[in-house]
Structure 1
Amino acid sequence: MPFEVRDRLIHDAGHATRRCRPVTKLSLLVKGHDETFCCGVMNNSIWTTDGGRSLMNSLLLDVPALRHIPELRVGFDVVDRERELIVLYNLDPAVLPGHTLRVLDLTRCTLDVPPGAAAISLPRLSALRLHKCSSPMKDLQGLIHAAPSLGSLHVEDLFCGNMSRADRFVLHCPSVTTLALAPALGTRHAIEIDAPCLRSFNFQHAKAIKLKVPSIEGMAVDKDAEHEHLATFHGLERLELDGPSHPGHRDEAAAAIASLPQCCPVIHDFHIRMIAETWGYRTRFADESGAVPLSDLDVSMDLFERRYSKEMAPLMLLDRDDGFSQVADLPGLTGCRFNCLQNHLKNVKLQFELKGWDSFEVCLAKFFAENCKVLKVLQIDDGKLNYLSHINWMVHRWRANALEQRKRIGRDSTHASEQRGERK
C-alpha cells in the first residue's frame, strides 16, 4: 500500500507536467479502518532511502512538479477512532513551497520545526487551517509571522504541549480578518489575540473572552445576516468588552450590544469599558502636577458616608428628577428577551465618561438595570468624583420601578386568569 500511494501521486504529478499543466493543488485524503493504518501510510520508512522522512516531506522535496503548488490539503477519514486527539505524521514547514503556497489545510499533523532551523517565508499564504494538530505556540506564531498576507486563520483542537493554566501567550495576527480558534478540550491557558484587522471571529470552548475593539458600533451585524456571522459560545461565562461608542452611532452601538447576549446565552459576568484612549481620570481630573484635587475627593467621600442621614435626603438624586425622564430606550435592545438576562447574568460593570443623560452609555445602564432579572451587582463607573453627580442613584430607581412593573404585570395576569375562570 505505501508503494501504491507514492507511485500514484508521482504518476499523476508527472502526467500533469508532461501535458504542460502545472500542478495547482495537492489534496491527500487517507481513508482507513483505524489510525494505525493511516499512520503507517504517512510514515512508512520505505519513502526514502534514509527512512527519516514522512510521506509529505518526501513528496514535497523529491517531486519537482509539487514544488510550486499554490494549495496543499491533507485530511483523514478514520472509521474506528482510537483517541480523539492523535497526530499521524510530522511536517517540516521548511519543505513547503513557500514562494507559491496560498492555501494550507492540515489535519492531525505535528508541525516539526527543528532547533536552529532557518526562518521560513510564506509571502502569498492567505488561508491557514490546522485541525487536530500539534504545535508549540511559538512555532504557530512563527508560521503566522512568515505569512504577511494571511487573511483567514482557522485553528481547531490544537495541542500546544505542556502549558499550565498560568501560562499566557500573545498571538500576533496583523493581517488576519477572519479567525476561528478552538484549543483542545481541557486546555486552560490564556491566549491573547492581537488582530487589528479582525472582522469576524469564533473562539470555541472559551470560558472567558476579553475583546478590545476600535469602536463598539463597528461590531454591529445586519439583522438579515445574523445567521451567517453570529456564532454561539455555549460555555462562555465572562465577557469583557473594551471600546468607545462614538456620538451619532447610537443605533449601531445598540445593535452590536444586542448581538452579544445572543452569542453568549449563559454568560454570568459582563464588563464594558467605553472610554476612548485619549481620555482618562488623570487627564480629566488631574491638575498640572498630575494630582487629583483632594477637596473634590474629600467632599465626595463625606457625602457618601452620610448618604443615609436625614440632612442628605433632600439632596439625593433618588428624590430628584435631574434628567430621569430624558433617558430614552434603545432601539434594538429594549423589549428583547435574552436568555442570559432572564436566567444567568449576575454581574454587570459599565465604565464610561458621563457626558449627559441622553448619552448611549446612560441608556445602556438603564437597560441593564431594568432587564437583568437575576442581577446581583450592577457597578457604574461614570468618571465623576462628586458623589452627588453619579448616576448610581438613578440605577436604584430604575431597578425599583422595573421590579414594581413586573409585579404589577404579574398581578394583572393573575387577575385576568381568575376572571376567565369565573366566566367559565
Structure 2
Amino acid sequence: MAAADSLSALPDHLLQHILSFAPAKEAAASTALSCRWRPLWLGTSTINLDSRSYLSNKHHDRYDVFFRDAEAAFLCRRRRLTVFLEKDAYRVDRWVDYGDEPEDDARVAGLLVNNPAAAGLEELRVQCEYTEYGKWYSPPLASLSCAATLRVLQLQCCNLEPPSSAHLAFPRLTDLTLYCCSLSEGYLQVLVDAAPALTSLALRYLRRHKSPETPGSAKVFHANSFHVPLRLRCRTVTALVLETNVCSEEMKHSRDAGIELDMPSLRYFCFRRVPVKLSLTSPAPELALVQVDTTLSELNGWRYVPVSCMLAGFSCTRALKLHLSCIEDLVTSYPPWLEEEQCRFILPTFSNLKLLQLDGKIEDKNSNTASAVMTLLRSCPAMSELRLRFNMRKEDCYRTTKDPVTSAFAQSKERFSRFMSMSCTDRDIVELDRVTDLPENNREYSFLRTSLRKVTLQFKSNEFNCFQVQLAKFLVENGMVLEEMHVDDGNQLWPNHLCNKAARWRADAFQKRNLPDTAGFRVYQQPAI
C-alpha cells in the first residue's frame, strides 16, 4: 500500500508513461488501486500484449482470455502496439492430417485488420515464439488497418509471403526491422519498395523459403542461412544494420557476387557475423560511420572472404570501427575456394577517414600482426584519432600467464622479480629498443606527419617488449602533431611503466632530429575507449 501511495503522488501523465511499459493484463489490474487509476491505463498510447502472461489449467481457455483482453485494450485508440505470441496463440487448435500445417488463428489478424481502434497505430512490433518445425506466423501486411499511419514496423520470427492480390503500401514507414524472419526470394525488395520514406533498415538473421520436399506441397520450409547473392535497392535509407548467417555452400556458388547495396543516402552501416563480399553500387558521399564485427564467424569453423573484400566499397566513410576475431586475418585468412588472384590483400584508401578503431585478438610473437596493423594504418592518410584494443588469444595467455596473484603487495613483488630477473641487455630493450617488425620512420604514413592527434591503446600482456609496447613507441616517436595518448592494460600493472616511458621516448626522438615538440603531448593512464 505504501508503494501504491508513492506512485499515486505522481502526476497522471507520468503514471500513464509508466503503465505503457507494462503488459496489458498487469496494466488493467492497476484499476483496482483506486478510482483515479481506472482511466489511466486506458489513456496510455502504448499497449503490450503478451500471451505468456496468461496461465490457466485449461490450455484452450488461456488464449480465449488473452484475445478478450486484447479487444478490451483496443476500446481506446493506441499509437504503439507490441504483441508477443506463443506458437499455440497464433495457430488454430485442431487436429490436422499428417504433413498439413495448421492455419493461423483469425483472431490475431482481427486485432490488426478491419479494427478501427488500430487504424491510427504508428508503431507495431510483432514477436512470435521461435519454433524449429512448422509454419511461422504470417502477418497480413497488405491488409493492416494502420498501413497508412505506420512509422515503425518490427517483425520477429515471422513468415513473410507476398500478398495474393492486395497492394502493399506503407507511405509513412521510416523504420523497418526484420529479425529471424523467413522470406520468399525477391520479396524483401518488394517490401522495401512499399516504403518510399524508409530511412532505417535492420535485417538480422533472415532466412529464405526452401522448395518443398514434395512437389506441389504448400508446406513451407525455412533455410538456416541468409541467401546470397543479394541485391537490395533503397535510395532513401540512411542507416542499415545487417547480420548474416551465410553457409559455405552459398559462398562457393555466389563467388564474387556477395551482397550489393544501392543506397546512395547511407550514413551509418553496421555489419555483424559472417564475412561476405559487400559492395555499394552507388556512391554514398554522406557515409559517416561503418562498423564491422566478425568475431562470431569463427564459431562456424569456416573461412569465408577476407575482411578487405568487405571494406572495398566503403572507402568514403569518415569513421571505421573493426572488431575482428584475429587481427592477423587481415593479411592471412582466405577461404580455400577463392582463386589465387582473389587472395591478394588490397585495402582501399580511406581518404576521408578521421577515426579508426581496431578491436581484436592477436597471436603472440606473430610477424603478421605488425603487417596487418600497419597496412591498415597506411590506408588512412587523414586519420586524426586512433583507437586500438588488443587481446591475446587464449592459448597464448595460457602459455605466458601463471597463477594470478591477488594482493597489491604480491603484484608489486611479482613485477619487481620479473624486472630484476632480466639481463642488462633486456633492460636496455625495455628502455629504448628499436621497434622491431615496424617501420623506422613515418615516410609512408602521412597521418603521422599531418593529422594524428589522439591515440588510445588498450591491451594485456606480460611481456615488457611486446608488439603493443613497440607500436606505442613507434607512434609517440613519429606522431609529429600527436597531442595525447591514453593507455590501459587492465590489471597487468603496465600503464604506470608505459606512461613514464612514452613521454621520454618522444622527447629523445625529437631531440635526435632537432625538432621542437609543439603539440603539447600528454599521456593518460585511464582508458578512453
Does residue 220 in structure 1 map to residue 336 in structure 2? no
Aligned residue runs from structure 1 range 356-371, under 5 A = 356-371=463-478
Distance (Å, rounded) in 1 between the aligned partners of 2:305 and 2:285:
24
Answer yes or no: is the 8 Å Cα contact 1:238–1:268 preserved in 2: yes
Give the counterpart of 1:391 among 472, 495, 498: 498
Give the counterpart of 1:273 among 389, 392, 401: 389
Distance (Å, rounded) in 2 between the aligned partners of 1:119 and 1:136:
24
Give the counterpart of 1:232 among 349, 360, 383: 349
Identity of aligned residues (%): 23
Answer yes or no: is the 8 Å Cα contact 2:362–2:393 preserved in 1: no
Gap change, CA 1:404 and 1:225, over 3 Å in 2: farther
Does residue 158 in structure 1 map to residue 263 in structure 2? yes
Deviations 1:159-179 (A, max 9, x none): 689xxx8xx8754453x4323
Gap change, CA 1:215 and 1:147, over 3 Å in 2: closer
| 2:277 match | 178
Answer yes or no: is the 8 Å Cα contact 1:286–1:293 preserved in 2: no
Following TM superposition, by how much is the alpha carbon of 1:324 offset from its aligned partner in structure 2, in angstroms?
Answer: 3.6
Aligned residue runs from structure 1 range 14-413, under 5 A = 94=184, 96=186, 111-112=192-193, 120-121=208-209, 125-130=227-232, 133=235, 141=242, 149-150=250-251, 152-158=257-263, 171-174=271-274, 176-180=275-279, 184-186=284-286, 193-194=293-294, 196=297, 197-199=304-306, 200=308, 201-202=310-311, 203-220=314-331, 229-250=346-367, 252-276=368-392, 293=407, 323-324=429-430, 327-337=433-443, 338-383=445-490, 386=493, 390-407=497-514
Answer yes or no: is the 8 Å Cα contact 2:327–2:362 preserved in 1: yes
Distance (Å, rounded) in 2 between the aligned partners of 1:374 and 1:129:
43
Following TM superposition, by how much is the alpha carbon of 1:380 offset from its aligned partner in structure 2, in angstroms?
Answer: 2.5
Answer yes or no: is the 8 Å Cα contact 2:316–2:350 preserved in 1: yes
Answer yes or no: is the 8 Å Cα contact 1:326–1:357 preserved in 2: no
Following TM superposition, by how much is the alpha carbon of 1:272 offset from its aligned partner in structure 2, in angstroms?
Answer: 1.1
AA aligned opposite 2:511: E
Distance (Å, rounded) in 2 between the aligned partners of 1:339 and 1:371:
10
- What is the SS of the residue equivalent to 1:244? strand
AA aligned opposite 2:439: L
Following TM superposition, by how much is the alpha carbon of 1:241 offset from its aligned partner in structure 2, in angstroms?
Answer: 0.8
| 1:421 match | none
Distance (Å, rounded) in 2 between the aligned partners of 1:208 and 1:361:
23
TM-score by length of 2: 0.42
Answer yes or no: is the 8 Å Cα contact 1:173–1:194 preserved in 2: yes
Following TM superposition, by how much is the alpha carbon of 1:394 offset from its aligned partner in structure 2, in angstroms?
Answer: 1.8
Deviations 1:273-328 (A, max 9, x none): 11137579xx99987xxxx74668999xxxxxxxxxxxxxxxxxxxx965445723
AA aligned opposite 2:454: N
Gap change, CA 1:146 and 1:194, over 3 Å in 2: closer
Distance (Å, rounded) in 1 between the aligned partners of 2:441 and 2:259:
36
Distance (Å, rounded) in 2 between the aligned partners of 1:339 and 1:216:
23
Deviations 1:228-279 (A, max 9, x none): 61201111111111123212313x1111122122211101111111113757
Answer yes or no: is the 8 Å Cα contact 2:355–2:384 preserved in 1: yes
Answer yes or no: is the 8 Å Cα contact 1:157–1:184 preserved in 2: no
Gap change, CA 1:221 and 1:376, over 3 Å in 2: farther
AA aligned opposite 1:248: K
Distance (Å, rounded) in 1 between the aligned partners of 2:495 and 2:290:
40
- What is the SS of the residue equivalent to 1:220? helix
Distance (Å, rounded) in 2 between the aligned partners of 1:361 and 1:372:
16
Distance (Å, rounded) in 1 between the aligned partners of 2:324 and 2:372:
12
Distance (Å, rounded) in 2 between the aligned partners of 1:359 and 1:276:
11
- What is the SS of the residue equivalent to 1:229? coil
Gap change, CA 1:121 and 1:253, over 3 Å in 2: same
Answer yes or no: is the 8 Å Cα contact 2:455–2:486 preserved in 1: yes
Answer yes or no: is the 8 Å Cα contact 2:461–2:492 preserved in 1: no
- What is the SS of the residue equivalent to 2:258? strand
| 1:42 match | none
Distance (Å, rounded) in 2 between the aligned partners of 1:136 and 1:51:
29
Answer yes or no: is the 8 Å Cα contact 2:459–2:489 preserved in 1: yes
Distance (Å, rounded) in 1 between the aligned partners of 2:487 and 2:320:
21
Distance (Å, rounded) in 1 between the aligned partners of 2:362 and 2:292:
23
Distance (Å, rounded) in 2 between the aligned partners of 1:324 and 1:256:
24
Answer yes or no: is the 8 Å Cα contact 2:382–2:451 preserved in 1: yes
Distance (Å, rounded) in 2 between the aligned partners of 1:347 and 1:160:
30
Considering Cα pairs closer than 8 Å and 6+ residues apart, tell me whether 1 or 2 has the greater RCO.
1
